[in-house]
Amino acid sequence: MTLNDILSEKGSHVYTISPAATLDDVVQKLVECNCGSLLVCEPAPGGGQSILGIITERDILRACAAHLPLAEVPVENVMTRNLVTGHPDDSVEEVMGLLTEKRIRHLPVLNQGCLVGLISIGDVVKAQYRQTLVENHYLKTYLHG
């Protein structure tokens, strides 16, 4: 199973926010979209979007712990800039290891430098669980058949 398999089921829509938006804007959008992260993007020259980073619930918690005024601090001051990314052909097993090793929960998926989706650790666990159920079913059928 690959990231492409997850994205074909989940879809490729990704929620984004501007680097000039405030952390309060991030909180509102995370709640509105019921998600745990937003890619930070700006319009790219010649069209499309340029990915600058990611802002997550964890980043918001750090800002709160530092007593930063959420309504005043721009996203670009807090976002994670060095993105870890995946490719549609990456296996679920590889990605599970990568997310664990890097201690991240959200992975932008790029194909030839273009964003094709975003997966979460929850998406990976769900896919792995489903795969295990299928394998378990076939093993039981084989043993009892």
pLDDT reading at 69 higher than 90: yes
Residue 140 binned pLDDT confidence (cut-offs 50, 70, 90)? confident
- Planar angle of CA 18, 24, 29, nearest 5 degrees: 65
Residue 59 binned pLDDT confidence (cut-offs 50, 70, 90)? very high
- Planar angle of CA 99, 66, 78, nearest 5 degrees: 50
User: 3-144: CATH homologous superfamily?
Assistant: CBS-domain (3.10.580.10)
Give per-residue pLDDT as tens, 86-99. Answer: 999 999 999 999 99
140: part of which helix (H) or strand (E)?
helix 121-144
Mean pLDDT along residues 92-107: 95
Domain boundaries, the chain: 3-144
Q: How far apart are CA 64 and CA 1, in angstroms?
A: 38
Looking at residue 5, its pLDDT comes to: 95
Residue 66 binned pLDDT confidence (cut-offs 50, 70, 90)? very high
